[in-house]
Amino acid sequence: MIDAKDAILNRRAIRAFKADPLSDDQLREIVRIAQKAPSWIDSQTGRVIIVTGDKLATMRNHHQRLNEDPDIHTNSDVPFIPIADWDQASQKNMTTRGATGPQIFGADSWNQMKSRQSALLFNAPAVAYLTLPKGYAPWALYDLGALGEAIMVAAQSLGIDSIPAFEFIKYPDQLRQALNVSADYEFILGIGLGYADHDAQINRVNAPRMDLNQVLTIIK
């Protein structure tokens, strides 16, 4: 068990996992710890569905086929916002982060690597889907973000790696069908969980953070 500071600092998005599975006990422990995340008047609106084993293997195959079909596009419950529609400062960060992979590997092999791993759902042995009831209050989205970070930090503290990804919830209608979830629930984000494949080149990429002074203002 490592402390909170190290768990936060060590966490990074992993895009290639080893096949080693996680036990139900490990998955339950991660979410049990993360449930301590705060929420508006303790509303605890978010629900977590974890998929693993044969079910995830089937869903991974299906995801791969959907990604390969040029006629199928994302229909995510939370809309996909193209980079050009974000504010200028965020756009700059996104292009810098996106450039780290191409800088290391060259644009073509980076794009190939990333789309292959995305289609495979990064080979994560477990995926935690974060859901909210349709018509949720905006504060519930804030709370779900806190729950998501708590899941990843809790996992890290137990030696388990993760990636938060839009990729997991790109096709929510198919997820609702595969997981027998009613249309009353929206799939907001997925978190892949497992053990990083440290030999995989794609995991060499890291994302720089802005200078603290650009993010923080202290006023006295």
Ligand X SMILES: Cc1cc2nc3c(=O)[nH]c(=O)nc-3n(C[C@H](O)[C@H](O)[C@H](O)COP(=O)(O)O)c2cc1C
Site for ligand X in 96-155 (CB under 6 A): 97, 118
Q: How far is the CB of 196 from ligand X (least distance, A)?
A: 11
Measured in degrees and rounded to the nearest 5, phi and psi for residue 45 equal: -70, -30
Among 92, 207, 210, 214, the residue binding ligand X under the rule CB under 6 A is: 207
The three-state secondary structure class of 166 is helix
d(CA 171, CA 177): 10
Binding mask 15-44 for ligand X (x = CB under 6 A): x-----------------------------
Q: Which of 48, 53, 51 is nearest to 20 (CA)?
A: 53
Looking at beta carbons only, is 24 or 173 nearer to ligand X? 173
d(CA 125, CA 196): 11
Asked if 189 interacts with ligand X (CB under 6 A), we say: yes
From the list 8-16, 54-62, 68-76, 103-111, the region that binds ligand X by CB under 6 A is 8-16
d(CA 187, CA 189): 6
Residue with tokens 């909210």: 132
State the residues that interact with ligand X by CB under 6 A: 12-13, 15, 97, 118, 164-167, 189, 207
